């Protein structure tokens, strides 16, 4: 499905939030590397998708009504066999129903478990004066508590992407410390530039979160993503 | 907002006409204002017409020597710039008269419009905006002080000077800051090409003026006080374009949360998170300043210190204590204070008085310069730093304390010191900044500053101010270098 199709379908259903599966479809279409996610509506479908993607896999609940998936027991990691996947599917759906009885549950997303990397966050939001603004920071506590993030107004130039990555205080973490290999900074810059293009081409997108993105010595990939329409 | 029927070139040409009018009219000036507007226009060389219907005011205005009329429609000829100071209910009629008589621009001193956030004010502002939009009249404000164009003699304060060698344009969302920039700046050698107090920006917005000043040949540096542009994206785009060609210094009001609330009640501008604003300025290549003083400081560094992209400072102070804190001040801004070359040390050793002094860098020139105030040794020190390959820019502390008695006895000493520094500046490719602390004798420091300003030397009141202004100028020249 094209970006426009995905957005149109969400709109038709009266939704502003795209599911993780939809968000990743849209971003992949825009040339942003994502961990592919498949929607499974039954335990059998989930097991089949896992076999195709290769083990281990991660399962996450897909529901427009559930934002914090972990809080409702909606995420399972490191599933290594078809049996574990089928069981996890059932557990996730049951747990989500118990926590949020009125939630519309579309199913469960199945995706390969990404190898660990340095966690970073990329985002886009709308400023009342400047319009779309990109954000970059290191994952977790650094963004949430220390607000160690950089911003630029869309559209950005390569120079801006370079500065965004380098001006956060935690930049030395990306350069590699205590013998860790440096993260692929160019891959992060490329992602920022593609996000900028995407935000410019799609003014209907109000907010965008790629959280986390795993940065590797060779490349970077969005592990989770959320697109909010205006 | 927006919506004038002009191409960018036409708009610039019309603004140029407003800043260089053939005739000026003042509508509704009155005793209660001290006839502020007519008195301000006394320096205008062309005809200044007054429009005032109150018989008493009209008589007083005529007695002041101005031709007074009952209406803009009765003026003997066309006017390019009208200042309107009537009550807000009358404003739409005056603006309509401006439109019908073919005036180029009108600045509305009148307030009580959208900034009141009341329905009546918002409606009236819209009404005058619509009249201007329909007719192509350039509406400045409302709620503003309009234009200061020193070369044309058009002023918005009778305190302002007129001259024709101004190089700095200023755009302001506050009338106070606009006037103060011109007055305080003048004292520091910052002369304005043109300034404009923009008010509520119903029609002309900050980017329109910015674009005009970007293309104005007299303007080399642009500075502004901004609380919140009406169209942020357009502001950003024009700012980005402008900063690539001329230095643009942006002083933002309301960067703290309580400040942002104050901004809302002043110009009703929406708040952008300070971090996002800062990022936008950096992205555009604009230079940020946090106060009137800093804005003037940075402009001085841009105008009067030779453009440099090097960060290595040669520092000269007059005592041991000052050489420590001058070093802290420049290092705090991220500038370097390197060791000098061996050749420089050899040269310094030949004349430097190390009793009560030292010369590693910083140079503590107490014994060499200050004790007898040996101006010739100032020259020798500067020449050593000028020849040193490890140094990109030089900061010189005047040591006001040593000069108080000497200059009170012999004012010519201030002249010869200023001459020595100016001669050095003329022959050197390196940036030079000077520091004259007001200290305990502000009369003497003012005297020294005036002699320096006359010679186009950038003079700062503290090490911190000099360091910050120079660092911001260096950052800007580096930005320009990276573009190439």
pLDDT at A29: 95
d(CA A159, nearest CA chain B) in Å = 9
d(CA A151, nearest CA chain B) in Å = 6
d(CA B198, nearest CA chain A) in Å = 18
pLDDT at B351: 86
Q: Report the 10 Å Cβ neighbour count for B429.
A: 8
The answer to whether A199 faces chain B, any CB pair under 8 Å, is: no
Cα diameter, chain A: 52
* Element holding A206 (H helix, E strand): strand A205-216
Q: Are B482 and A159 within 8 A, CB to CB?
A: yes
Measured CA to CA, the distance from residue A196 to residue B275 in angstroms comes to 19
The answer to whether A124 faces chain B, any CB pair under 8 Å, is: no
d(CA B481, nearest CA chain A) in Å = 13
DSSP β-bridge partners for residue A59: A76, A110
DSSP β-bridge partners for residue B313: B393
pLDDT in tens, A161-182: 999 999 999 999 999 888 889 9
> Residue B26 in 3-state DSSP?
strand
In this prediction, residues B171-182 reach a mean pLDDT of 97
Counting one residue from A and one from B, how many pairs have CB atoms under 8 Å apart? 45
pLDDT at B2: 53
Taking contacts as CB-CB distances below 8 angstroms, the residues of chain A near B280 are 130, 151-153
B24-27 and B48-51 strand pairing: parallel
pLDDT at B1: 42
Question: Any idea what the Cα angle at residue B162 is, between residues B465 and B84, rounded to 5°?
Answer: 105
Q: Are A129 and B232 within 8 A, CB to CB?
A: yes
The model's pTM is 0.94
Buried b / exposed e over A108-132, threshold 16 CB at 10 Å, is bbbbbbbeebbbbbbbbbbbebbbb
- CATH class assigned to A118-229: alpha beta
pLDDT in tens, B57-81: 999 999 999 999 999 999 999 999 9
Topology adopted by domain A36-113: Dna Ligase; domain 1 (3.30.1490)
Measured CA to CA, the distance from residue B36 to residue B58 in angstroms comes to 15
Q: H helices of chain A, where?
A: 3-12, 20-29, 43-53, 82-99, 141-144, 158-166, 171-175, 185-201
B394 to each of A120, B424, B435, how far by Cα in Å? Answer: 42, 11, 11
Domain boundaries, chain A: 36-113, 118-229
> Which of A123, A125, A130, A192 to mutate against chain B (most B CBs within 10 Å)?
A130
Measured CA to CA, the distance from residue B315 to residue B399 in angstroms comes to 13
Of A128, A147, A153, the CB nearest to B280: A153
Domains and CATH numbers, chain B: 8-301 (3.40.50.261), 306-483 (3.40.50.261)
At residue B336, φ and ψ (nearest 5 deg) are: -100, 150
* Element holding B148 (H helix, E strand): strand B146-148
Measured CA to CA, the distance from residue B328 to residue A120 in angstroms comes to 36
Of B232, B271, B283, the CB nearest to A152: B283
Q: Are A127 and B276 within 8 A, CB to CB?
A: yes
With 0-12 CB in 10 A as exposed, 13-18 as middle and 19+ as buried, what is B265?
A: exposed
Please check whether residue B142 is in contact with residue B165, taking contact to mean a CB–CB distance below 8 angstroms. no
Measured CA to CA, the distance from residue B158 to residue B409 in angstroms comes to 35
pLDDT at B131: 97
pLDDT in tens, B312-326: 999 999 999 999 999
What does each of the 230 residues of chain A score in pLDDT, given as a tens digit?
Answer: 788 999 999 999 998 999 999 999 999 999 999 999 999 999 999 999 999 999 999 999 998 888 888 899 999 999 999 999 999 999 999 999 999 999 999 999 999 999 999 999 999 999 989 999 999 999 877 777 778 899 999 999 999 999 999 999 999 999 988 888 999 999 999 999 999 999 999 999 999 999 999 999 999 999 999 999 99
Q: Give which of B168, B117, B182 is closest to B143, Cα–Cα.
A: B117
Query: Angle between the B412-427 and B442-454 helix axes, to the nearest 10 degrees?
Result: 40
Q: Confidence band (pLDDT; 50, 70, 90) for B267?
A: low
The answer to whether A196 faces chain B, any CB pair under 8 Å, is: no
């Amino acid at each position: 499905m094209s970006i426009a199709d995905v957005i149109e379908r969400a709109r038709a259903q009266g939704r502003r939030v795209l599911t993780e599966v939809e968000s990743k479809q849209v971003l992949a279409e825009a040339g942003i590397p994502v961990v592919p996610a498949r929607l499974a509506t039954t335990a059998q479908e989930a097991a089949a998708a896992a076999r195709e993607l290769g083990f281990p896999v991660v399962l996450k609940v897909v529901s427009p009504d559930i934002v914090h998936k972990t809080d409702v027991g909606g995420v399972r990691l490191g599933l290594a066999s078809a049996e574990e996947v089928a069981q996890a599917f059932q557990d996730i759906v049951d747990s989500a129903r118990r926590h949020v009885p009125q939630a519309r549950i579309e199913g469960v997303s199945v995706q390969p478990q990404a190898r660990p990397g340095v966690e970073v966050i990329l985002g886009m939001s709308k400023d009342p004066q400047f319009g779309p603004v990109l954000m970059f920071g290191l994952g977790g506590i650094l963004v949430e508590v220390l607000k160690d993030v950089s911003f630029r107004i869309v559209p950005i130039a390569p120079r801006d992407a370079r500065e965004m990555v380098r001006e956060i205080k935690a930049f030395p973490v990306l350069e590699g410390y205590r013998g860790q290999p440096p993260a692929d900074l160019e891959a992060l810059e490329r992602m920022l530039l593609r996000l900028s293009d995407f935000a410019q081409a799609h003014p209907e997108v109000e907010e965008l979160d790629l959280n986390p993105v795993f940065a590797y010595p060779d490349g970077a990939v969005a592990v989770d993503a959320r697109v909010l329409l205006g | 907002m927006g919506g004038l029927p002009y191409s960018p070139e036409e708009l610039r040409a019309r603004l140029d006409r407003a800043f260089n009018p053939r005739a000026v009219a003042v509508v509704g000036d009155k005793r209660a204002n001290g006839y502020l507007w007519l008195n301000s226009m006394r320096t205008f060389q062309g005809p200044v017409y007054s429009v005032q219907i109150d018989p008493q005011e009209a008589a007083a205005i005529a007695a002041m020597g101005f031709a007074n009329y009952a209406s803009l429609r009765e003026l003997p000829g066309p006017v390019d710039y009208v200042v309107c100071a009537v009550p807000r209910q009358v404003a739409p009629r005056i603006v309509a008269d401006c439109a019908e008589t073919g005036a180029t621009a009108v600045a509305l001193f009148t307030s009580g419009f959208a900034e009141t956030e009341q329905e009546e004010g918002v409606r009236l502002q819209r009404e005058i905006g619509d009249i201007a939009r329909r007719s192509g009249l350039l509406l400045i404000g409302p709620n503003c002080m309009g234009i200061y164009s020193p070369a044309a003699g058009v002023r918005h304060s009778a305190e302002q000077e007129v001259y024709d060698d101004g190089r700095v344009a200023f755009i302001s969302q506050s009338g106070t800051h606009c006037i103060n920039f011109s007055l305080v700046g003048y004292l520091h050698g910052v002369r304005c090409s043109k300034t404009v107090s923009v008010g509520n920006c119903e029609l002309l917005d900050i980017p329109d003026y910015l674009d005009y000043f970007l293309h104005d040949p007299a303007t080399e540096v642009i500075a502004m006080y901004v609380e919140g542009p009406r169209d942020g994206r357009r502001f950003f785009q024009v700012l980005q374009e402008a900063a690539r060609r001329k230095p643009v210094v942006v002083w933002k009001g309301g960067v703290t949360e309580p400040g942002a609330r104050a901004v809302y009640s002043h110009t009703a501008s929406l708040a952008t998170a300070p971090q996002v604003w800062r990022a936008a300025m950096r992205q555009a290549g604009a230079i940020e300043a946090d106060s009137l003083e800093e804005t003037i400081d940075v402009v001085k560094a841009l105008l009067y210190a030779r453009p440099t992209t090097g960060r290595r400072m040669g520092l000269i102070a007059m005592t041991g204590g000052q050489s420590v804190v001058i070093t802290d001040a420049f290092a705090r801004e991220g500038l370097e204070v390197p060791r000098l070359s061996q050749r420089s040390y050899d040269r310094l050793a030949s004349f430097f008085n190390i009793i009560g002094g030292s010369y590693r860098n910083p140079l503590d020139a107490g014994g060499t310069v200050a004790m007898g105030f040996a101006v010739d040794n100032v020259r020798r020190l500067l020449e050593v730093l000028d020849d040193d390959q490890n140094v990109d820019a030089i900061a010189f502390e005047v040591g006001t304390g040593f000069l108080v008695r000497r200059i009170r006895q012999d004012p010519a000493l201030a002249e010869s010191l200023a001459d020595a520094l100016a001669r050095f500046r003329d022959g050197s490719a390196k940036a030079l900044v000077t520091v004259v602390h007001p200290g305990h004798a502000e009369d003497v420091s003012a005297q020294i500053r005036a002699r320096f300003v006359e010679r186009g030397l950038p003079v700062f009141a503290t090490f911190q101010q000099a360091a910050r202004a120079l660092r911001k100028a260096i950052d800007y020249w580096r930005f320009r270098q990276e573009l190439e």
